[in-house]
Amino acid sequence: MIVTFLQGAAASLLLPPLGLVIAIVVLALLAWRGWRRAALASAAGGVVLLLLSTPVVAGLLAASLDRSTLAAPGGAPAPGAIIILGAEMASGAADADIGPLTLERLRTGAALHRRLGLPILVTGGPLRPREPPIAELMARSLSEDFGTPARWTEDAARDTRDNAALATAKLRGEGVRAAYLVTHAWHMPRAMEAFRRDGFAVIPAPVHRLRTPEGSARDWVPRPDHLALTWYALREWLGRAVYAVRDGG
C-alpha cells in the first residue's frame, strides 16, 4: 500500500499539471527577485500548460500510445476468458464505489461477454487504506449493473505488473492459456507488455478509442478534461519507461 502511494505521489509531482505549476511558481518567485529570464520561462510554462490542455495535444499523446488492434498474436491459442483491469475508485461520503474509468472498462467487458460468452476475470487490489479491493467493487457492479457475473476475482494486485502476474496465475490454474484484455486504449500497450512478460497471450479489447485531432479551431481550445487525458498519456509513457528499466525491456 505504501509503495502504491509513493508511486502515485511521484507521478503527480513529476507530471503536469502539478509538476509544471510548481515550476511556474518557482520561476515566478525568481522573477520577483529580479531574475528576468525566469519571468520569460514562467510565461512559457503557462503557455505549455495551456497547450497540454488542448484536444490536439492530448489527442496526439493518446494516439502515440494507441497502437493496439483486435488482431490476435500469431500462433496464440484461442482465448478462454476476458480480463478486465481495474482503474480508479470514486471518492465521496457514501460507500466506496468504482470510478468512471473503471465503469467504462466494465461496460466494454460486459458487452464482450454477451457477444462471445467467455467468463470474466476482474483484477485490482485496494487503492486506499481501509477500503475494499477494487476487484470486489467491479464484480459487484458487473452483477448488479450489467447482469454479468465475474467468474474470477483477483483482489491483491497493486499495479499493472501485479494485474498481469496474478491474473495469469489464476487463469493458468483453470486451464486458460489466452484471454481478451480490457482496458483503455492509452493503457493497453503497457498492460500487454506486462502480460507478455509472463508469457501469457492476450488479445486487446480496448475501451473506445478517441478521435484523432484534425487541427480544427476547436481542437486548440483548452479544456480541463483534455488536460486529464494528457496526464494519463504522459503517465503511461513514464510507466512504460519504468517497467522497461525494472523488468528488462
User: Would 72 be classed as within a structural domain?
Assistant: no
User: Would 209 be classed as within a structural domain?
Assistant: no
User: Would 101 be classed as within a structural domain?
Assistant: yes
User: Would 159 be classed as within a structural domain?
Assistant: yes
Residue 91 and residue 185 share a domain: yes
Residue 86 and residue 50 share a domain: no
User: Would 71 be classed as within a structural domain?
Assistant: no
Is residue 210 packed enough to be buried (19+ CB in 10 Å), middle (13-18) or exposed (0-12)?
middle
Q: Are 107 and 145 in contact (CB under 8 A)?
A: no
Domain tally for the chain?
2
User: Would 149 be classed as within a structural domain?
Assistant: yes
Is the C-alpha dihedral spanning 153, 155, 157, 158 positive or negative? positive
**Residue found by looking up cell 458487473 in the block:** 142
Q: Are 96 and 115 in contact (CB under 8 A)?
A: no
Residue 100 and residue 58 share a domain: no
The C-alpha cell at 130 is 481501509
Residue 195 and residue 225 share a domain: no
User: Would 26 be classed as within a structural domain?
Assistant: yes
**Which secondary-structure segment (H or E) carries 202?**
strand 201-204
Residue 224 and residue 191 share a domain: no
Prior bond of 17 cis (ω within 30°)? yes
Residue 174 and residue 242 share a domain: no
CATH code of 197's domain: 3.40.50.620
Residue 88 and residue 179 share a domain: yes
The whole-angstrom separation of Cα 35 and Cα 80 is 63
**Which secondary-structure segment (H or E) carries 38?**
helix 36-52
Residue 199 and residue 115 share a domain: yes
**Would you give per-residue pLDDT tens digits along the chain (249 residues)?**
444 444 554 555 555 666 656 766 776 766 666 677 776 777 777 777 878 888 888 888 888 887 654 455 567 789 999 999 999 998 765 688 999 999 999 999 999 999 999 999 999 999 888 889 999 999 999 999 999 999 999 999 999 999 999 999 999 999 999 999 999 999 998 999 899 889 999 999 999 777 777 778 888 888 888 888 888 888 888 888 877 777 765
Residue 123 and residue 47 share a domain: no
The whole-angstrom separation of Cα 249 and Cα 236 is 15
Residue 91 and residue 47 share a domain: no
The whole-angstrom separation of Cα 17 and Cα 226 is 12
User: Would 57 be classed as within a structural domain?
Assistant: yes
The whole-angstrom separation of Cα 102 and Cα 150 is 15
Residue 225 and residue 188 share a domain: no
Residue 44 and residue 129 share a domain: no
In terms of residue numbers, what domain contains 53?
2-66+215-247
